[in-house]
């Protein structure tokens, strides 16, 4: 018989895949002898089985849960539903990867009409008991039975009105007893049956509800954004309740072993006396800093410090812990590796090495490559900042600077962002429903909640700037404005946030690019030491190339020459080329482009200081350079001294049904070899020019969209002939390479043939993904959301390389290419080149380098190091 | 040292690849002791080397040619340039596959100022000698030196005018001597050097010219149309000249051992006294039937009959022979397997089996599958024919009936045909330049030339109807009309041809489908006996299905259900479905389509009489069902009781950048599962209906455009659920299969996963080709001509499966699919399913069946048999 349920004392931290992070760590803390309220974990396999069985928990699993329950009752010395000493539990999700707030939790489970009396007697606090019971009924009804909370809130509000009080806490035990009666009546009315009195029924229903919540829309979105497979499922932790709300000798809190914003080594957190954990996390009451616990209760504080030190040393990483104090006794409810800002991640990784807890390699694995992005985010321009007025200050919840238009709902954030507007999401507090709006916003501002509130935790995870708990900001979400010191800021008004200081500005403040700190440089140096993949950049102009070089790019992996042609001073010559009727006319137009291209290439070579520069020849279909609307054609015709009809005819003749699959890439050079001649002349003349001044340029000429050896051969012959003539004429020596993109499935399939002519391959995984899947990125948006909803795709193949399909072609191409040309250079220049998962894949299949946008270069460097540490190249 | 040059006596028929068809057969005839003018063959490898070396004939090859020349001079007892007994040769191309008229020929090579005198003395005929010399100068200048013939024709015409004569034959030896002098002067004037007097120089230049002609545009076009690789190259045959124009005891002719139109066993051909071979083939003089040779020269006729019988028995196939009689002595210049009509091909194949010359399998290999097409071509509708008037009669050069608009140039034929107009190409005579126009015309009419004229031979090869040599038709190509009995027919006027009777009609005559003869049925029965591939048809309606069933289809491999929706009575409901805003509206619209689909499926099942029927679910993007022009939208909106804006918004929301890569195929069923529900209901209800009436339908449901297992699983779950409910409700048993198309590269790469759910695969090679190559068929037209011209592609990947790329994916998918599901059904339903080469490939990789359009079914049956005879399945 398969084991689906584990007591905490039966498990340990290595069982994370089976028991989820929370469950495995509760077990580990139990084994470490720490004060953990005992309980058990229902495994992720039970969740998977629940779905496989058609959303049913099998009798086998139910029996194992009951057995574990009995065992736990013995350990804690309480019994489910007992009128004297009732056993109450929390039921919480716990997946392999942390998904904060995405799934459901039920507290105080086990309360019924009998147990509530037991709890009242045991605590000598009937008010507390009935308050717990009414909370439980509401939570259970909401989470398990899907009865909207508003039904119960109305009853509560009615009672408060009746008693003419403002706060829940002003209600006494009798009031609450009546409220419970009202809740139960409402439940009966809505569900047609009594509120379940059997705690075992409550438990199984709650477990089922947690399993079900694995599949709720916000969890699915979160998983997709964080690349967490649906197959993993969630575990469920059933843990005996401890109460932080049993009076002033009780309390609850969360703390980090180091500052999650800066990485500073000091206990960092918050706590509230006489409160349940949810009160801290939800950000409804603003809690006290953890340091004050030392004054409030030195013994507990000391115990907690010892535990936290022990946990950090044990896990060799910064810990994020939850604790509860029940009548003067400390309980640990959770520990996990803490989420942190990029800056903190760097500092912690480096400190842990310095403290001798980690090796450099281990430290490199502790930093999430994507997080580095935050360090590279814009900061405010100092000059602009001088004139800006701070209208309020909140908590510096997630660093970086942001400016944008205020919006008050996640939906509106998405609408405006889609139109290209920068937005700042302003909320009283955020909830998991806001996650997509937060992802798309430049910054997040909340008026409530602390450093561990939902807004703060999620924004840090995303690397989005966030100012939280700005109490002086009154947010009116429904009315779409916020007010500070009597001044209203409406939807669409510009505001700015500094997530590193917590300052809020009521205007647009210019932002500038970030500079990278000493920790950053140190970690990057380690990364460079341990990686075997080179990292290049995709840059089309000297400006981007310089930025990338500063970020450590070791060359240009992709220069899209067409981007140069779209610029205002070049497009007239480009258009002239396109409308040319004869070879001669075309050559004349190209001759105008030549000096501009040459100048660009000189700039690129110089920016790269001797590192290789890969130049891709003209790729897009020619109609992209011409207008399509009648009036634009009219205007351009006038400008070009053509008749409207003439230009219109050219535009029409260039129209394509499927432009992605049209006359572009190498196909252009086959029809118009003179384009390749011009581009080669520019590439080679520029290199000669730079080398004459001491440069060491070896240009890499890249032919796009090749699917057949003869295509490459045809263009390569032109390139070589032209290049050799230019070199001969200049009377110099110059090496250059000619290679191709592998972006057509056929090129991957026939890579051995193509390697006969190609001196390098660069995987163009954008197009390769489109053609391998048979959908275009422009059109897939319409149906991909259905694909996510229906779980056909779990993540976006344009974000992470589809290893099974596209990756299989890549792997095949690598092997075939090396058979023919063992020293072939192999790179990737699709957007996947900056995605850490894809970088790891590229490392595994044996590429020589990845190339990505300048701001992704540090991410790729770290990802490459991690890949090599995890899978050392032999 | 590699041998590049072979004397005829050194070689044999098996050396066709090295020496070309003509060379190998000349060698074989030499070995058989037949009277062949001796000579030697320069190999195809020499041609390849010529191109590899940059269009240069290496010294090594030149020396081998000279050595063979010396050897041949000894054999024939003549010497190059000899003033007494000069050695003259013909220099002719000869590729591995016959390419009639596509490459260059030079006759009388070896003549110079000395040799012409020798020839005059030797033949006692100075007129003949100088006429030969002037012809040689003109031909050499034209073919080798690329001097336009008109330069020389002007000199000839001037002399005729001076002498006041009409015919060349009215010029005497002195006149011709002067003309030669004029020609040489012209040559010197144009080339700046004397006409080459050294026969060895002439020879090498001529060989070079033949090699060069391998690469001329018409040869390239012919190869592409006939799928002949460029790499093969041509051999060059250097053969001692014999003269059919040495007086009335000389002559020349061509003959077939059987009638190439009907297959009847009788010597069939034509000859001309006192003429050179070119005169017969070019169709300038109308020759006598070969039977008259028996009267004219019984001894020679008898000798020729014996030789032809011997050759047919030796080659075990109908032979096409060229001969020359020089002063009463017969010489064989060529033999080859004769081109024949489809009808003749059948009759000959069957007769040769009956005569004991061939086995059934060998006979099957003698028939070109594509030729069968001609048998299936339309014939005239008998009723329409009754009222039609024959305006003239020509030779019945290639069978079939055709009706179309008269055009007078190949270019115009192509222009009109592209607009969808049927055309008849009308010419005085055709030449190789006309080949593309002939390929696209419904029929060809010429006023000159015989059964072996260019027009006749080429049209038969293409299966295009042709009436040749219609002397009463006066064709004025430049003025774009022809005249018969004083009536003019202009470009664009309808005419009709009967290629089987030679009758010409001056009007449009309705055509009807062909019925197939007894020989056809016999050959097909043999084909069925020896093939292992099944042959199905692509049919979307009962009418096509019935035709295909009569042609031997063993099921439907592809029913495109959307074709049903485009019909006038269905498209309103389809559009209603598309503009639906709710699931309910959509279901209502689908409910209207259900009975129509069901009725169609009943018709298909009945037509197939128990053979499997594969139904593909809705495939095209929905916007294809809606109009795009404003006025059409307006009209439809009115019809649908929608506002213009509403409908316009729907149309716009469905617009796609790359519709081929858009929201179509399985993606539609994922967004709108109700479509799959409706289609499944129709498929299953129809099957139950037919089976209740004694049918044995096992429907095969095919999901298109799958690229991922979960896509298929999602839709299959819906299909199975729906089908099982319908079956249960009907209280019957019904088997059905659910499978998928393999048309997305990713599906082929992950075929093992997909086979977990797919009970069959059907290769959709149209889309698979588009996506593997990364170009769409709609757009590739614009650049594929450049690809042919620049020899990047030699043939159309949409006509023949690209075995290296697309085929590699197919082979991979077959192997992966079988690993998981050893009994998986494997088919192809792209247009390649009717292409003989592709059928052979499908056989080799182990498919279960091919599916093609109804008229291609017999072709596929024969191709499948040939494939299995050549590569028997173990």
Residue from the list A658, A708, A710 with its beta carbon closest to the beta carbon of B661? A658
CB contact under 8 A, B779 and A708: no
What's the CA gap between A159 and A182, in Å, rounded? 10
**Residue of B706, B752, B774 for testing the chain A interface, max A β-carbons within 10 Å:** B774
Q: What is the 3 state secondary structure string of A108-142? A: EECCCCCHHHHHHHHHCCHHHHHHHHHHHHHHHHH
Nearest Cβ partner for A710 among B753, B786, B792: B792
pLDDT of residue B563: 79
Compute the distance between CA of residue A669 and CA of residue A686 in angstroms, rounded to an integer.
21
Strand partners, A329: A326
Which is higher by pLDDT, B28 or B563? B28
- List of chain B residues whose C-beta atoms are within 8 Å of the C-beta of residue A746: 772-774, 802, 805-806
Beta bridge partners of A398: A466
List chain B residues with CB under 8 Å of A659: 657-658, 779
Q: Mind listing the pLDDT tens digit for each residue in A720-765?
A: 999 999 999 999 999 999 999 999 999 999 999 999 999 999 999 9
Q: Indicate left, alpha or beta for B74 from its phi (over 0: left) and psi (-120 to 50: alpha).
A: alpha
Average pLDDT over residues A596-615: 95
pLDDT band for A284, please (50, 70, 90 cuts): low
Contacts with B809 from chain A: Cβ below 8 Å? 745, 749
* Element at A252 (helix H, strand E): strand A251-256
pLDDT reading at A94 higher than 90: yes
- Using the predicted structure, report yes or no on whether residue B640 has a pLDDT greater than 90: no
pLDDT over 90, % of chain B: 72
Q: Is A169 left (phi over 0), alpha (psi -120 to 50) or beta?
A: alpha
Integer Cα distance of B272 and B192 in angstroms? 39
CA separation for the pair B842, B742 (Å, rounded): 14
Which of A487-496, B106-115, B281-290 has the weakest average pLDDT? Answer: B281-290
Closest CA to B96 of B44, B45, B38: B44
Predicted confidence band of residue A845 (pLDDT cuts 50, 70, 90): very high
Q: How far apart are the first and last CA of chain B?
A: 42
Give the full edge-to-edge strand order of the sheet including B288-289. Answer: B288-289, B268-273, B251-256, B319-326, B329-337
Task: Tell me whether A705 touches chain B (CB under 8 Å).
Answer: yes
H or E segment and range at residue B738: strand B737-742
Confidence class of residue B500 from pLDDT cuts 50, 70 and 90? Answer: confident
Three-state secondary structure call for residue A304: helix
Summarize pLDDT for A514-539 with one digit per residue, the tens. Answer: 766 688 999 999 999 999 999 999 99
Do A177 and A130 contact (CB within 8 A), yes or no?
yes
* SS3 assignment, position B556: strand
List the single residue in A660, A663, A805 with the smallest CB-CB distance to B658: A660
B454 tagged catalytic:
yes
For residue A179, pLDDT beyond 80 = yes
Chain B (713-732) residues lying within 8 Å, Cβ to Cβ, of chain A: 714
Confidence class for position B515, pLDDT limits 50, 70, 90: low
Which residues numbered 75-94 in A keep a CB inside 8 Å of some CB on B? Answer: none
**HEC string of A47-110?**
HHHHHHCCCCCCHHHHHHHHHHHHHHHHHHCCECCCCCCECCEEEEEEECCCCCCCCCEEEEEC
C-alpha torsion angle, residues B477, B483, B484, B487 (rounded to 10): 160
pLDDT above 60: residue B528: yes
Give me the DSSP letters along A317-379: S-EEEEEEEETTEEEEEEEEEPP--HHHHHHHHHHHHHTTSS-HHHHHHHS-GGGHHHHTS-E
Residue B336 φ then ψ, to 5°: -160, 160
Output the average pLDDT for chain A: 92
Full-model pTM: 0.83
What are the tens digits of pLDDT across the range B88-146?
999 999 999 988 878 888 999 999 999 999 999 988 889 989 999 999 999 999 999 99
Among B578, B657, B658, the residue to mutate for chain A (most A Cβ within 10 A): B658
Considering only CB atoms, A656 lies closest to which of B749, B779, B787, namely: B779
Indicate whether B59 pLDDT > 70. Answer: yes
- Which residues are within 8 A (CB) of A664 and not within 5 positions of it... i.e. 6 or more apart? A619, A620, A621, A704, A705
Decide if B671 touches A, using CB distance below 8 A: yes
Say if A794 is an interface residue toward chain B (CB within 8 Å): no
Q: How far apart are CA A736 and CA A601, in angstroms?
A: 14
| Min distance B370 CA to chain A CA atoms (Å) | 28
B774:A786 CB<8 A? no
Q: Residue B771 is nearest to which of A771, A779, A808, comparing CB atoms?
A: A771
Q: How far apart are CA B157 and CA A75, in angstroms?
A: 123
Which of B659, B707, B773 shows the shortest C-beta gap to A658?
A: B659
Rounded CA separation A304/A298 (Å): 10
Distance CA A467, CA A398 (A): 7
User: Is pLDDT of A326 > 80?
Assistant: yes
- Per the model's pLDDT, the better-predicted residue between A512 and A623 turns out to be A623
Q: Give the integer Cα–Cα distance in Å for B408 and B493.
A: 11
Predicted pLDDT at B463:
62
* Rounded alpha-carbon distances, angstroms, from residue A260 to A305, A342, B666: 17, 9, 47
**Active-site hit among B47, B377, B454, B623:** B454
Strand partners, B537: B556, B852
Q: What local confidence, expressed as pLDDT, does residue B240 receive?
A: 96
Distances (CA, A) of B116 to B81, B136, B160, B198, B207: 8, 11, 22, 13, 22
How many whole angstroms separate alpha carbon B521 and alpha carbon B315? Answer: 26
A 801-860 residues with CB < 8 A to B: 802, 804-806, 808-809
> In A531-643, which ranges are continuous DSSP H helix?
542-550, 561-565, 571-579, 583-608, 630-640
Q: Minimal Cα distance from A806: which residue of B?
A: B746
CB contact (8 A) between residue B772 and residue A804: no
Question: For the residues of B91-134, what is the DSSP string, one character each?
Answer: EEEEESS--TTTS-EEEEET--HHHHHHHHHHHT-HHHHHHHHH
What is the C-alpha separation between A67 and A61, in angstroms, rounded?
10
The residues in B 731-750 lying below 8 A from A, measured between CB atoms, are 743-746, 749-750
DSSP for B255-299, written as a single string? EESS-TTT--SS-EEEEEES--HHHHHHTSS--EETHHHHHH-HH
Share of chain B above pLDDT 70, in %: 98
Residue B622, Cβ neighbours under 10 Å: how many? 25
Which chain B residues in 750-779 lie under 8 Å from chain A, judged by CB atoms? Answer: 750, 753, 767, 770-776, 778-779
pLDDT given at position B492: 94
B contacts of A804 (beta carbons < 8 Å): 749-750, 753
Which of A54, A661, A768 best probes binding to B when mutated, by most B CB atoms within 10 angstroms?
Answer: A661
Q: What is the DSSP string of A732-781?
A: -----EEEEEE-SHHHHHTHHHHTTT-SEEEE-HHHHHHHHHT--HHHHH
In the prediction, which pLDDT does A461 show? 57
User: Of A170, A140, A133, B329, nearest to A162 (Cα)?
Assistant: A170
Mark B315-354 as b/e (b = at least 16 C-beta within 10 Å). Answer: bebbbbbbbbbbeeebbbbbbbbbbbbbbbbbbbbbbbbe
Write down the pLDDT at residue B167.
Answer: 79
A744 vs B806: CB contact, 8 Å cut-off?
no
Would an 8 Å CB–CB cutoff place A710 in contact with chain B? yes
CB contact under 8 A, A708 and B793: yes
CB contact under 8 A, B670 and A711: no
Record: contact A667-B775, CB cut-off 8 A: yes
pLDDT for the residue numbered A874: 66
Higher pLDDT, B139 or A379: B139
Instruction: Check if B623 is active-site.
Output: no
Q: What is the pLDDT of residues B534-564, one digit of tens each?
A: 999 999 888 889 989 999 999 999 999 987 8
Q: How would you label A193-225 residue by residue, b for 16+ Cβ within 10 Å and e otherwise?
A: eebbeebeebbbbbbbbbbbbbbeebbbbbbbb
Residue B89: strand pairing partners? B109, B240
């Amino acid at each position: 018989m398969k084991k689906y349920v584990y007591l905490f004392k039966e498990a340990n931290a290595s069982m994370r895949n089976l028991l989820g992070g929370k469950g495995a760590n509760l077990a580990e803390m139990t084994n470490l002898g720490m004060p953990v309220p005992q309980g058990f974990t229902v495994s992720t396999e039970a969740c998977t089985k629940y779905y496989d069985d058609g959303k049913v928990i099998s009798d086998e699993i139910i029996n194992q849960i009951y057995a574990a329950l009995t065992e736990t009752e013995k350990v804690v010395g309480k019994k489910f539903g007992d009128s004297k000493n009732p056993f109450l539990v929390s039921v919480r999700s716990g997946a392999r990867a942390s998904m904060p707030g995405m799934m459901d939790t039920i507290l105080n489970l086990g309360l019924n009409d009998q147990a509530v009396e037991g709890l009242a007697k045991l605590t000598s606090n009937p008010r507390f008991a009935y308050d717990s019971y009414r909370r439980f009924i509401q939570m259970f009804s909401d989470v398990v039975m899907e009865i909207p909370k508003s039904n119960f809130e109305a009853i509560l509000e009615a009672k408060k009105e009746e008693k003419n009080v403002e706060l829940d806490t002003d209600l006494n035990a009798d009031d609450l007893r009546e409220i419970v009666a009202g809740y139960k009546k409402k439940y009966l009315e809505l569900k047609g049956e009594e509120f379940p009195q059997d705690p075992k029924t409550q438990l199984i229903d709650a477990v089922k509800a947690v399993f079900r919540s694995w599949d709720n829309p916000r969890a699915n979105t979160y998983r997709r954004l964080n690349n967490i497979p649906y197959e993993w499922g969630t575990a469920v932790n059933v843990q005996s309740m401890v109460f932080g709300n049993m009076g002033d000798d009780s309390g609850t809190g969360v703390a980090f072993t180091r500052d999650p914003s800066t990485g500073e080594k000091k206990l960092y957190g918050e706590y509230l006396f006489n409160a349940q954990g949810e009160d801290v996390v939800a950000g409804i009451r603003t809690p006290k800093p953890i340091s004050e616990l030392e004054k409030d209760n030195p013994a507990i504080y000391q115990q907690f410090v010892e535990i936290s030190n022990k946990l950090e040393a044990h896990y060799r990483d910064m810990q994020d812990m939850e604790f509860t104090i029940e009548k003067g006794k400390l309980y640990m409810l959770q520990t996990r590796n803490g989420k942190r800002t990029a800056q903190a991640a760097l500092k912690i990784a480096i400190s842990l090495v310095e403290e001798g807890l980690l090796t450099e390699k281990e430290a490199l694995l502790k930093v999430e490559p994507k997080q580095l992005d935050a360090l590279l985010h814009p900061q405010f321009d100092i000059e602009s900042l001088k004139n800006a007025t701070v209208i309020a200050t909140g908590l510096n919840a997630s660093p970086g600077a942001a400016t944008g238009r205020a919006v008050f709902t996640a939906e509106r954030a998405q609408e405006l962002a889609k139109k290209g507007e920068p937005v700042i999401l302003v909320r009283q507090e955020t909830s998991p429903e806001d996650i997509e709006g937060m992802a798309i916003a430049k910054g997040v501002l909340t008026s409530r909640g602390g450093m561990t509130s939902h807004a703060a935790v999620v924004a840090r995870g995303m690397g989005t700037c966030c100012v939280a708990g700005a109490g002086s900001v009154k947010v009116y979400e429904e009315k779409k404005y916020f007010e500070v010191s009597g001044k209203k800021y409406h939807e669409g008004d510009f505001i700015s946030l500094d997530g590193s200081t917590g300052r809020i500005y009521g205007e647009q403040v210019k932002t500038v690019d970030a500079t990278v700190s000493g920790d950053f440089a140190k970690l990057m140096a380690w990364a460079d030491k341990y990686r075997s993949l080179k990292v290049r950049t995709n840059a089309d102009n000297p400006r981007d190339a310089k930025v990338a070089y500063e970020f450590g790019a070791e060359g240009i992996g992709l220069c899209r020459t067409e981007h140069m042609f779209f610029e205002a001073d070049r497009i007239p010559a480009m258009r002239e080329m396109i409308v040319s009727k004869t070879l001669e006319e075309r050559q004349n137009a190209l001759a105008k482009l030549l000096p501009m291209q040459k100048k660009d290439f000189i700039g690129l070579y110089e920016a790269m200081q001797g590192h290789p520069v890969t130049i891709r020849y003209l790729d897009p279909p020619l109609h992209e350079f011409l207008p399509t609307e009648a009036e634009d054609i009219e205007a351009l015709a006038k400008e070009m001294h053509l008749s409207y009809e003439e230009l219109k005819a050219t535009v029409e003749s260039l129209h394509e049904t499927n432009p992605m699959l049209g006359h572009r890439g190498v196909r252009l050079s086959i029809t118009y070899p003179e384009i390749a001649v011009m581009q080669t002349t520019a590439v080679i003349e520029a290199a000669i020019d730079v080398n004459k001044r001491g440069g060491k340029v070896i240009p890499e000429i890249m032919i796009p969209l090749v699917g057949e050896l003869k295509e490459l051969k045809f263009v390569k012959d032109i390139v070589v002939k032209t290049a050799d003539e230019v070199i001969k004429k200049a009377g110099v020596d110059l090496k250059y390479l000619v290679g191709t993109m592998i972006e057509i499935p056929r090129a991957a399939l026939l890579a051995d043939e193509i390697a006969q002519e190609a001196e390098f391959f660069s995987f163009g995984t954008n197009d390769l993904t489109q053609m391998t899947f048979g959908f275009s990125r422009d059109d897939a948006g319409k149906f991909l959301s259905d694909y996510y909803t229906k779980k056909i795709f779990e993540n976006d193949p344009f974000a992470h390389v589809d290893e099974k399909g596209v990756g299989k072609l890549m792997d095949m191409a690598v092997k075939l290419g090396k058979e023919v040309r063992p020293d072939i250079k192999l790179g990737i220049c699709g957007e996947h080149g900056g995605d850490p998962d894809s970088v790891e894949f590229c490392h595994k299949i044996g590429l020589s380098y990845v190339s990505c946008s300048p701001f992704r270069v540090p991410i790729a460097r770290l990802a490459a190091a991690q890949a090599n540490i995890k899978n050392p190249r032999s």
